[in-house]
Amino acid sequence: MILYEDAYILALYKPNNMLVHHSYMAKNQAEEMTLLESFQQKYQRKVFPLHRLDRKTSGLVLCAKDTTYVATFQQLFTSSTIEKVYYGLVRGFTPKQGEINSPVKGRDANVYKEAFTFYKTLQCVSLSIPVPPYETSRYSLIAMIPKTGRMHQLRIHMNKINHPLIGDPKYGDRFHNRMFQTNFEIDTLFLHAASLVFTHPYSQKQIEIKCPFPQHWQDIAKKFNWTLPS
């Protein structure tokens, strides 16, 4: 799905559990259709991703239409002059808002790099579904604005403050993940790259691109009587 397009860039919707492109870090990559391959197959043209999303994360991926535009737009990400907003469903009741300042390992897995995430709690719910050792279970819908772009940053940061993302097999809580599988038949990560806001480096216009929520988000919002951000 194309979310935005102009003469220089376009924004694509990436579903959960899809690679943006093949990389040496991805397992079983040769057997998978990536986002870029799917786009090229459908539209018969190539695009060049300007940033990354984890395989398990859904949402917006910004791409350049030509390699000559890549460096200019990537500067928006390296200079942190582009605002990225993610939404997550996490275990427990999170504070009203906060900032997480905790280093995260780089992609070489040896060097820790500074990482900053601001978050804000939007809605909470308490369920009469027991998750040991408690007789009830509590969850929060949060907005996250990462100030840096480290690998798995949001997933690691929410785990560090004891509010892991639901459906996260690596950094999450297996008991709460299992509860969602058993009671709601959902085993998908609740992390969604929802919007980008930036000044277009060529037109100098303010651009805001939004991405709709996947179906599993809409399903759980109905069950929790939540209104998802628009």
Residues 6+ apart with CB under 8 A from 115: 100, 101, 102, 103, 104, 146, 148, 150, 153, 156, 157
Using CA atoms, how far apart are residues 49 and 193, in angstroms rounded to an integer? Answer: 15
Which residue from 178, 177, 171, 174 is spatially nearest to 155, judged by alpha carbons?
171
Residues 6+ apart with CB under 8 A from 71: none
Catalytic residue (choose from 6, 54, 168, 187): 54
Length of the chain as a residue count: 230
Give catalytic status of residue 54 as yes or no. Answer: yes
Contact 212, 205 (CB under 8 A): no
Residues 6+ apart with CB under 8 A from 89: 139, 140, 141, 142, 165, 166, 167, 190, 217, 220
Instruction: Give catalytic residue positions.
Output: 54
